[in-house]
Amino acid sequence: MAFHMLERPCPHKPKPVFMTPIDKSAVETILRPLDLTDDHYRRLMDLMTEDIVKGMNPQTHPAANIKCFPTFVRSVPDGTEQGDFLALDLGGTNFRVLLINLNGQEVKMESKIFIIPQHIMLGSGVQLFDHIADCIFKFITDHKLQGKKLPLGFTFSFPCRQEGLDKAVLTVWTKGFNCEGVVGKDVVELLHAAFKRRGDMPNVKCLAVINDTVGALISCAHSDRQCAIGLILGTGTNACYIEDLQNVKTWTGDDGEPRQVLINCEWGAFGNDGNLSFIQTDFDKAIDKHSINPGKQIYEKMISGMYMGEIARLAIERLRKNHLLFEGEGSYHLATRGRFYTKYVSEIEGDDVTNFTVTRQIFDELELTNHNEQDYRLVRHVCNLVSKRAAYLASAGIACLLNKMNKKEVTVGVDGSLYRFHPFFHDLMMEKIQALIRPNIRFKLMLSHDGSGKGAALVAAVASKLKDKDDRGRRGSKV
Amino acid sequence: MIKAGLNENELQALRRLGGEPNIQSSNFQSSSSMISHSLAEASSSMPVPETPYSGVTVKIEYAGACFDEGQTRRKRLSLKFPGNEIAGTIYDIGANLPNSNYTVGDRVIIVPDDDSNTGYTEFLPVEDTSRVIQVPNNVPLEVAAMLPGSALTAYAAVNCAKPHVEKLRKVKSCVNVLVVGAGGLGLWTIKLAKYFLGHDCNNVRVFVADNSIDRLLTAQDHGCYDIIHWNEEDHEQYIHERTLDSCRGGVDVIIDFVGSHRSMQRALKVLNREGVILVGGNSTSETNISLTALAAKQQSIVGIPQGNLNQLIELLNAVADKTLEVPQYQVFPVDEANKVFEDLTECRITGRAVFKFGSQSSAHLVDNH
C-alpha cells in the first residue's frame, strides 16, 4: 500500500489568488449512481414483497433470500408484566448482562458490559458460553442475587432458525464471530450446558431467546401498543413485523389465539440472488468483493453502519483521483480500507456550514493537508448522498412491510447507532416512507431504546407467565 | 515502515556489539568467549565520550521504550531514543568529584532532562551528578529504568489527583477515576493508585479506557475496577453512554495521558460537576473548550506537573520494599528496537517494553503480577 511521506502544510506557501472552478459535470457523473429515484425504490418494494412471500412458503423458503423466520413471539406486552428478570444481550464485541424489574409501565434496569476478547470470538463454542456464564455469575454476585430465582431472556442477534420460544438454532455467524460447534445447534441448550458445567447457577434459567429486532418491537410496544414493526439500523440492518398466522405457511407452532406471530425477516440478505444489481454502484460492488462474505447481505451493505463510511470513502477517493477533491492529494489514512468511519458521515453532516470546524478536524485526523471550502462542501455532499440513499432504502423496506400488513395505524420501533446518532436519518425516513406507502396508512417512527435489555425481559416475563399457567394446568389435571 | 531513528551506522554498531548477526540464545552458552571478544571490539568501535570534569560517564544497560501515547494510530511515531528511562552502571568518574559519592560499577538511573533524543548511544556523559541516582540492590535494573520516565509521570499525575479524590471521598459514597490510555503510563497509574490508597480503597474506583481491547485486558489484570472500550469507530455519543454506563454516578477525576482532541471532548462530556481533568503533555493536539460550561460546572483542567527528584527516590524505595507493585514488562535486546516499537503500536505487545543494551541478545519475558 502506498505510504505518503507527508510534509507539514506550509502556512506561507502562496496559494493562487483565483480558485479553479470545479468541473460540476465530472462530479455529477461520478456521484449520480448514488442518487436513486422513486421508481427505483418502488421497484425494490415490489421485489421485496415477492421475496417475503417466498420466505414464508415452505417450498421456496430454502432458496429464499429474505428468510422470514417465525419467532414464536405471539403478542406484544399487555402491561401486566411483573417481577425481576435477567436479560442477556449478545450482538457484538460488547456483551451485556441486565437485571430488569418490571412493574406495569415502570421499568428499572441495572446492567454491566463485558468485553469479549478476540480469541473467544474465534475460539470454541464451549469457551464462548463458558465466558458468558462467567460474566453472568460475576453480575449475580455483584448484585447479591445468588439465592433468587431468575428467569432469563436472551437477545441473541445473529441469524437463527427459531424452533420454539426458548429454542433458536444458529444458521450462520456474522459480525466477526466464528466459534466452532455452534452453527446448527440450539444456543439456549449451549447456554444451559455452560451453567451445568459450572454448577453454581441453579436459579438461572433461560425462558426465551429473541433477536434485536424483536427486542426493539417489544420494548417499543410496552409504551405504544400500536407498535407492529421492529427495525434495527446500526452496524447491521434487519426488521421484524407482526404477521397473520394464515400467511405464515412455514408455521409449525400451535393454531390457537392470538392468530399472529412476529416474523424476523433477516432482510439484510435481500439481493443475494443479484436482484438488486439495478441499483448497485461500483462502490457497492467493490465493498462486496472485499468483504468477509462476498455475495451475501447485499441490501445490508448498502444501508448499515458497517459499510456506510466505506461507501463514502470510495466515492471520495474516486473524486480525488480525478482531481476533483484536495487537488488530487490524499493521505495514507484516506487510502486505507475501512478507515473513513461511519461516524464521520454523521459528524460531517451535523457540522456547521459556515466554519466546517468538525469537517476540518476530521481531515486533520486523516492527515489530509490540502483542503479548502470547496472540498468541505463536496465531501459533505458525498456524505449526504450516501446517508440519504441508506435512509431511503430502509424506508422502502419499511413501506413494503406497512403496505403488506395494511393496518391503519402502525408505530415502528427503531434502534441502532445510525438512527440514533445521524442528524437527519429520522427525518429522511419519515419523508420517504410517507411517499411510498398506501395513502390510508398512518405511521410513526419511534426510538426504541434498550430493546435488547427491556425487550428480552418482557418476552421472558410473558414466557414465565405462560410457563406458570402451563405448570398450574398440569398440576390441576393430576388432581 | 516505522523509522526508529537509528541510522545505518548505529545499526551496524549494534550488530557488531551483538556478535554474529544471527546468534540465537542457545548459542550463547557455548560462545561466551566469542562474546567477550566482540565486546572488547565493540567498546572500541564507538568512541567513549570524555567524562565531564565534575560528572560521571554512565554505561547504559537498559532503556525503556518511549514514544508518545497519543500517536499510536499514526504511521510516523515520534520516538525518543535512548529516551528518558535510562538505567546503567557507572563507567568512569570525573577527576573533580569527591571519591566517596560514586564508585565505578554502581547501579544507577538517570533523571531525564530535555535532551532525550540523541540517538543510539552506549555511554552517556552526565555533567550534573544530582541527576544520577543509585539503585537499591534488590531492585532489578530493568525495573529501575522505567522509574524516571513513565512511573514518575504517573506518580505526578496520581499525586496531583490525590487531594481532589480525598476531598470527594468525604462526601461521596463512591469516587470514580478514569484513566485514558492503557499503555505503560496507564498501568503505572493503576499500581500507584493502589499504593497511594493503601488498603482503604473500596470507595475509589479506577476505570481504564483505551482503543485497544488487548491493552484493556492487560489493564484488567493489573486490578483496575473496570475497563471501557473506547472504540474509535463508534459514534462519540455511544462512547459517552458506554462510559457513563460503567462509571455509575459519573466521572470525578480523569487522567488523560492521550490528550487528543477526541479524548478531551469525551472527558468533558462525562465529567461530573467539580470534576478535574489532568492532562499529560504528550500530544500536539489542540481542542476547543467552552469556558462558560467549565465555569458553570466548576470543573478544572490541570496539566500534569513534572515529577521531581524526591518523588523519584520515593518510587525507588517503594519498589525496593515492595509496597509498590510493578506493572507487567518485557525485556528485549536493543537491536530489536524497530520491531518492538512496531509491535507496541499494533498492541501485539501490551505492558511495558524495556531494551537491554550490551552483548546478550537473549530476550526474556518477565511477567509479574
Tell whether B277 is covered by a domain: yes
> CA-CA distance, B267 to B122, in Å (whole number)?
41
Last residue of a domain, one of B254, B287, B303: B303
The reported pLDDT for the residue numbered A15 is 78
Could you tell me if B58 and B156 lie in one domain? no
Integer Rg of chain B from CA: 22
B217's enclosing H/E stretch is helix B213-221
Is the residue at B218 inside a domain? Answer: yes
User: Which CATH number belongs to the domain containing residue B336 in this structure?
Assistant: 3.90.180
Task: Check CB contact under 8 Å for B235 and A417.
Answer: yes
Does residue B311 lie in a domain region?
no
- Rounded to an integer, what distance in angstroms lies between the CA atom of residue A228 and that of residue A217? 7
Q: How far apart are CA A131 and CA A194, in angstroms?
A: 9
What is the distance between the alpha carbons of residues B188 and B206, in angstroms, rounded to a whole number?
A: 12
Contacts of A1 in chain B (CB under 8 A): none
Position B72 scores a pLDDT of 44
**Would you say residue A156 has pLDDT above 80?**
yes
Give a yes or no: residue B222 inside a domain: yes
Annotated catalytic residues of A are 175, 212
B244 — contact with chain A (CB < 8 Å)? no
Whole-angstrom distance, CA of residue A308 vs CA of residue A384? 11
For B72-86, B229-243, B265-279, which range has the lowest pLDDT when averaged over its residues? B72-86
- Which chain A residue has its CA at the smallest distance from B288's CA? A357
Answer whether residue B141 is part of any domain: no
With a cut of 60, say whether residue A129 has pLDDT above it: yes
User: Are B15 and B76 members of one domain?
Assistant: yes
Choose among A332, A346, A367: nearest Cβ to B235.
Answer: A346
Asked if B169 and B270 sit in the same domain, the reply is yes
Q: Please state which CATH class domain A70-222+450-463 belongs to.
A: alpha beta
Q: Tell whether B81 and B183 lie within a shared domain.
A: no
Look at the alpha carbons of A133, A139, A141, A146 in this order and tell me if their dihedral is positive or negative.
negative
| H or E segment to which residue B125 belongs | strand B123-126
Interface mutation target, options B235, B245, B266, B285, chain A, most CBs of A under 10 Å: B235
pLDDT digits (tens, 9 = 90+) for B102-137: 888 899 998 887 665 566 678 888 888 888 899 999
Tell me: cis bond preceding A258? Omega within 30 of 0 counts.
yes
> B276 lies in which domain range?
150-303
Last residue of a domain, one of B268, B303, B338: B303
Whether chain A has a CB inside 8 Å of the CB on B8: the answer is no
Q: Where are the domains of chain A?
A: 70-222+450-463
Q: Which of B216, B233, B238 sits opposite A115 (nearest CB)?
A: B216
Mutation choice for A interface testing from B72, B216, B233 by most A CBs within 10 A:
B233
Give yes or no for residue B81 having a pLDDT over 90.
no
Closest Cβ–Cβ partner in A111, A343, A357 for B234 = A343
Lowest mean pLDDT among A18-27, B76-85, B246-255: B76-85
Rounded to a whole number, what is the distance in Å from the CA of B233 to chain A's nearest CA? 6
Determine the distance in angstroms separating the CA of A117 from the nearest CA of chain B, rounded to an integer.
7
Residue B211 covered by a domain: yes
Confidence of residue B358 (pLDDT cuts 50, 70, 90): confident
CA A212/CA A190 separation, integer angstroms: 19
Q: CATH number for the domain including B270?
A: 3.40.50.720
Tell me what pLDDT residue B46 has: 64
Pair (B170, B128) in one structural domain: no
Q: Check residue B24 and give its pLDDT.
A: 32
Same domain as B124, residue B57:
yes
Residues B118 and B251 in one domain: no
Calpha distance B229→A115 (Å, rounded) = 8
As a whole number of angstroms, the longest Cα–Cα distance in chain B is 71
B/e letters for A341-362, b = 16+ CB within 10 Å, e = fewer, are bbbbbbbbbebeeeebebbebb
Model pTM above 0.80: yes
User: If pLDDT is split at 50, 70 and 90, which confidence band does B19 have?
Assistant: very low
**Domain co-membership, B245 together with B346:** no
Same-domain status, B21 and B161: no
Q: Which of B128-132, B217-221, B279-283, B340-344 shows the lowest mean pLDDT across its residues?
A: B279-283
Q: Check CB contact of B238 with chain A, cutoff 8 Å.
A: yes
Q: What mean pLDDT comes out for the span A274-296?
A: 94
**Which residue type does B95 have?**
A
Give the pLDDT band (50/70/90) at residue B368.
very low
Do A343 and B233 count as a contact with CB atoms less than 8 A apart? yes
Provide the number of structural domains found in chain B: 2
Contact in structure between B96 and B53 (CB atoms under 8 Å): yes
Inter-chain Cβ pairs, chain A and chain B, closer than 8 A: 43
Residue A344: closest CA among chain B residues belongs to which residue?
Answer: B235
Angle in degrees, 0-180, between the axes of helices A373-405 and A342-349, rounded to the nearest 10:
100
